[in-house]
Every structure is written in structure tokens, then in C-alpha cells.
Amino acid sequence: KQEVTQIPAALSVPEGENLVLNCSFTDSAIYNLQWFRQDPGKGLTSLLLIQSSQREQTSGRLNASLDKSSGRSTLYIAASQPGDSATYLCAVSGKLIFGQGTTLQVKP
Amino acid sequence: DVKVTQSSRYLVKRTGEKVFLECVQDMDHENMFWYRQDPGLGLRLIYFSYDVKMKEKGDIPEGYSVSREKKERFSLILESASTNQTSMYLCASSFPGQKNIQYFGAGTRLSVL
């Protein structure tokens, strides 16, 4: 059974820092991996999707990598801003299996 | 832009009531999904549908049913609400195939008293 783990559960950084969020999964037979952002009390917004054949995807200050063989993905956020404060979730598919998320706080 | 709309942001119901949560998408997506999100448990799939009148059980279907009479609308039904169904409910939709992005609604926070 696929299990997805995100470490750390919470992270607090000063504005301007570069940071890395981690996601690991137990079964490497995935179709893709998605990173989502969730603001408090809101739904999920898709940030990046990496197909199983890809190694990374970039969108603005965000870069997501995928290493299927080791069952890991990272989300790199460059030059963090207070507006980046949210919970970040990774999910792997077939059927989407979610990690529990990392709650990020960027302090001004 | 894809829009997935959930009819209520907040809902308060009594134990034993029949509850309908509605979700509508405007992108002609075949696939639609219902999840619940709980602290410490993350998001869990309740039901999904890959076509009109088709439905499949997810990981936690007990106590729920669904209806998909039209392609754009997917309803989650709590036949007799219980306090352990207090949760955040999220609807999503996507094109067919497991490689496609799921788009989520804003969520419905349901409290069962």
C-alpha cells in the first residue's frame, strides 16, 4: 500500500531564505507526483505536476524534483516571501495519495 | 481557468439529518472526486466517478453515497449524519487518465452536532 510522508510537518523561516520541502513515497510505481498549496480554511491549488518520466518541473520561484528510484521528491522555494506561508501537500497517483503536508511560515 | 464550485463553505447539521454536499465543475471533466480532510489524517478519498451515473468507492466510503446525474455535478450524500463526519470536504475534477491534474474546489467545512 502506497504511503506518502512529508518532513518536516512545520517550518518557519525568515523572509528571503531559500528552502526545501521533502516528500517520500513507498511505492515507486507512480504515474505522476503533484505539489499543492493550501491556505488556511481553503481548498487546494495545484502548483506543479511531474510526470513519472520527468525529473523536475519549474514554475517561477518553485522547482520540484522527482527521483522515482529512491521514492523522493523535493519542492524548492527560492527567495521565500510572507505570501508563501501556507501548507504544502504532495500527492502521488494513480489514485491520488496525499502526504500530511508541511506548514510553512515565512516571517517578514 | 478551471472552476470547481462547492455550494457551501460552511454547514452545520444535526445528528441523523440527511446532508447533501454539491460540487459543480465547468471544464467538461469526466472524473470527479470527493475527499475529506482531517487533522493528522490528511486527505482521504471517499468516492470518485469517471462518468455520468458511474461511481467507485474510495478508501473510506462507509456512511456516504454519491450521485452523478449530470457530467458537471457530483453530489456527496450523508444518509444519516454523525458527529464523526464533522470534517472538511473537498471536491475535485480532472480529465480521464491518471496522469492528469486534479482541480479542487474551495471546500465545505461541515459540523455535525
**Whether residue B97 has a cis bond before it, omega within 30° of 0:** no
Q: By the CB < 8 Å criterion, does B12 face chain A?
A: no
Q: What DSSP line would sit under chain A, residue for residue?
A: ---EEEE-SEEEEETT--EEEEEEES----SEEEEEEE-TTS-EEEEEEEETT-SEEEETTEEEEEETTTTEEEEEE-S--GGG-EEEEEEEETTTEE---EEEEEE-
Mean pLDDT by 10 residues, chain A (108 residues): 92 96 94 93 90 94 96 97 97 88 96
Q: Measured between CA atoms, how close is B98 to chain A, in angstroms?
A: 5
Does residue B98 have a pLDDT over 70?
no
Q: Measured between CA atoms, how close is B12 to chain A, in angstroms?
A: 16
Does residue B79 have a pLDDT over 90?
yes
Q: By the CB < 8 Å criterion, does B13 face chain A?
A: no
Mean pLDDT of B102-109: 92
Among residues 9-28 of chain A, which lie with CB inside 8 Å of chain B? Answer: none
8 Å CB contact of B103 and A46: yes
Residue A80: φ, ψ to 5°: -60, 150
